[in-house]
């Protein structure tokens, strides 16, 4: 049977300094990848204790 939702979530995770993450988010926005507001607020990576931000992109299954 076909799944009810033909999409699936894929998460993109940035880990680094606040400045570094902001630069990457701005660059990805310029490339049309995602709006800056789509990223999570900074939080700590539970494994490393470093700041991280997460983006969930919904892609269509093939």
Sheet holding 43-44, edge to edge: 7-15, 51-60, 43-44
Asked if residue 2 is part of any domain, the answer here is no
Asked if residue 48 is part of any domain, the answer here is yes
Structural domain boundaries, residue 16: 7-60
Q: Among candidates 15, 13, 21, 20, which has minimal Cα distance to 51? A: 15
Asked if residue 46 is part of any domain, the answer here is yes
Residues 6+ apart with CB under 8 A from 32: none
pLDDT tens readout for residues 2-61: 668 889 999 999 999 999 999 999 999 999 999 999 999 999 999 999 999 999 999 998
Domains identified in the chain, total number: 1
User: How much is the pTM?
Assistant: 0.83
Separation between Cα atoms, residue 42 and residue 4, nearest integer Å: 32
Asked if residue 38 is part of any domain, the answer here is yes
How long a stretch of residues is the chain? Answer: 62
Asked if residue 21 is part of any domain, the answer here is yes
């Amino acid at each position: 049977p076909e799944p009810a939702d033909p999409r699936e979530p894929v998460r993109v995770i940035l880990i680094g300094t606040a400045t570094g993450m902001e630069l990457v988010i701005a660059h990805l926005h310029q490339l049309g990848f995602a709006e800056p507001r789509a990223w999570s607020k900074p939080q700590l990576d539970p494994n490393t204790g470093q700041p991280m931000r997460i983006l969930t992109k919904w892609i269509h299954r093939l």
